[in-house]
């Protein structure tokens, strides 16, 4: 007795990218969608993205005020949880100088190891990211 697959009509599978493309066509390149509990802005056209990031950059630069940011981030005092505002602008030069110093230290380490005929330098980045984020 021969078995065969039942004859099913072939349908076009609606993938996520197809659905997003259809939404972009319907709403002319900019729309919001819910990703879990968060709302995300989807921008398709580069002209609209440029306007969002240059003219309206302050509106898009803020982070949402979350209870977890307040609890885990010491009332949004940590750089990873800080909201855009006066405090963030005070932290920014400090962060930039810390990153610059860290990169200089990495370069010095690489230069030192390179002179001892090593082509590669192994660096533990986990500690570096922790220090930059938590300090």
Q: Total structural domains in the chain?
A: 2
Is pLDDT larger for residue 83 or for residue 11?
A: 83
Same domain, 73 and 55: no
Q: HSE of 40 in the Cβ direction (CA atoms, 13 Å)?
A: 9
Point out the domain boundary residue: 24, 44, 61.
61
DSSP string, 53-87: HHTSHHHHHPPP--HHHHHHTTTTTSTTTPPSSHH
**Please, is 40 exposed, middle or buried when counting C-beta atoms within 10 Å of its C-beta (0-12, 13-18, 19+)?**
exposed
Asked if 74 and 113 sit in the same domain, the reply is: yes
Give domain status of residue 35, yes or no: yes
In this predicted model, what pLDDT tens digit does every residue of 101-132 receive, in sequence order? 888 988 888 787 776 666 677 777 788 777 77
Question: What is the extent of the structural domain holding 18?
Answer: 10-61
Q: Tell me what pLDDT residue 62 has.
A: 73
Place of tokens 């981030």: 73
pLDDT at 3 over 70: no
pLDDT in tens, 34-92: 888 878 888 888 888 888 888 887 777 777 778 888 888 788 887 777 887 888 888 88
User: Are 82 and 37 within one domain?
Assistant: no
pLDDT of residue 93: 85
Q: Assess whether pLDDT exceeds 60 at residue 4.
A: no
Residue 85 forms part of a structural domain: yes
Under 8 Å between Cβ of 96 and 88: no
């Amino acid at each position: 007795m021969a078995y065969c697959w039942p004859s099913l009509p072939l349908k076009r599978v609606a993938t996520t990218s197809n659905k997003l493309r259809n939404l972009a066509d319907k709403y002319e390149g900019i729309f919001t969608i819910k990703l879990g509990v968060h709302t995300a802005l989807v921008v398709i056209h580069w002209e609209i993205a440029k306007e969002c990031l240059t003219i309206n950059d302050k509106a898009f630069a803020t982070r949402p005020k979350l209870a977890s940011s307040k609890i885990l981030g010491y009332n949004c005092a940590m750089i990873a949880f800080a909201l855009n505002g006066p405090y963030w602008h005070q932290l920014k030069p400090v962060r930039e100088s810390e990153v610059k110093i860290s990169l200089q230290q990495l370069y010095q380490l690489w230069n030192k190891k390179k002179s001892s005929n090593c082509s590669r330098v192994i660096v533990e980045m986990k500690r570096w990211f922790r220090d930059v984020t938590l300090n």
